């Protein structure tokens, strides 16, 4: 029996229509397809992840979840419907004997070591910005009083380059003493798998990675 017949009563007609349109447009993608687990996403400006989990291949039911705002309210959303249709097309064995679906909370928020390091990097940069602002205010006061103030000894690199080195170092790639184009590209490739929105990261994290990568590429050239 088709998905349309098996599960239509779980979804509102307009939700099925929207999900069908996304499926027809080729926006529904399966990233993991197993006998008891389906992982997929629906393409958008920020891809929406969907997950199906069954206790076993022989289970008569399976739990579904989506990371969109509608699913967060406990409803069966258009993204789930689109991935159901894509599962029927690409991996129908998962749906064998499964006549019931349940809305579950399947996405666990697990912070990766890279995410923790990213947060640490942001915190350090914020503290440095505060220190620089304080130093600048003091220099302005000294100037107004006619007091000369010597700037602290600079580093070998510019502030932007130092910041970029810190970013990669905190994320597991200390490049300062061994910087070359190949090592830098490899570091970016690995971190892109963590910070890209398609991989569970965010747009802002991807932007920060690309900015620091470009700073070091410009420095090398």
- Segments making up each domain of the chain, as ranges: 3-103, 113-220
Its pTM stands at 0.51
* C-beta separation of 3 from 85 below 8 A: yes
Here the tokens at position 96 are 């064998």
Here the tokens at position 216 are 């070091």
- What's the pLDDT at 155? 42
- What's the pLDDT at 199? 66
Instruction: Using alpha carbons, select from 179, 180, 178, 201 the residue that is nearest to residue 190.
Output: 201
- What's the pLDDT at 142? 67
**Integer angstrom CA distances of residue 194 from 57, 81, 118, 208, 213:** 31, 27, 11, 12, 15
Here the tokens at position 15 are 């939700």
* Alpha-carbon torsion (18, 23, 25, 30), positive or negative: positive
* C-beta separation of 201 from 163 below 8 A: no
Q: What angle do CA 146, 148, 150 make, to 5 degrees?
A: 160
Full pLDDT tens readout for the chain, 221 residues: 799 999 999 999 999 999 999 999 999 999 999 989 999 999 988 899 999 999 988 899 999 999 999 999 999 999 999 999 999 999 999 999 899 999 988 876 444 555 566 667 667 766 766 676 566 566 656 666 665 544 444 445 677 888 888 888 888 888 888 889 999 999 898 888 877 776 666 787 888 888 889 989 988 88
- What's the pLDDT at 54? 93
- What's the pLDDT at 221? 80
- What's the pLDDT at 143? 62
């Amino acid at each position: 029996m088709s998905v349309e017949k098996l599960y239509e009563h779980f979804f509102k007609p307009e939700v099925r229509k929207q999900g069908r349109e996304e499926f027809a447009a080729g926006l529904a993608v399966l990233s993991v397809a197993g006998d008891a687990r389906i992982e997929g996403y629906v393409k958008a400006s920020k891809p929406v992840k969907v997950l199906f989990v069954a206790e076993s291949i022989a289970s008569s039911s399976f739990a579904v979840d989506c990371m969109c705002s509608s699913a967060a309210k406990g409803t069966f959303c258009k993204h789930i419907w689109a991935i159901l249709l894509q599962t029927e097309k690409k991996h129908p064995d998962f749906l064998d004997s499964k006549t019931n679906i349940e809305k579950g909370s399947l996405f666990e928020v697990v912070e990766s070591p890279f995410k923790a390091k990213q947060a640490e990097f942001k915190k350090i940069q914020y503290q440095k910005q505060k220190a620089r602002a304080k130093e600048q205010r003091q220099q302005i006061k000294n100037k107004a009083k006619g007091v000369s103030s010597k700037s602290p000894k600079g580093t070998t690199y510019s502030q932007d380059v130092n910041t970029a080195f810190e970013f990669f170092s905190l994320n597991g790639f200390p490049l300062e003493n061994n910087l070359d184009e190949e090592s830098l590209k490899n570091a970016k490739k690995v971190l892109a798998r963590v910070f890209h929105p398609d991989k569970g990261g965010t747009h802002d994290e991807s932007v920060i990675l690309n900015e620091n990568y470009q700073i070091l590429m410009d420095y090398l050239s």
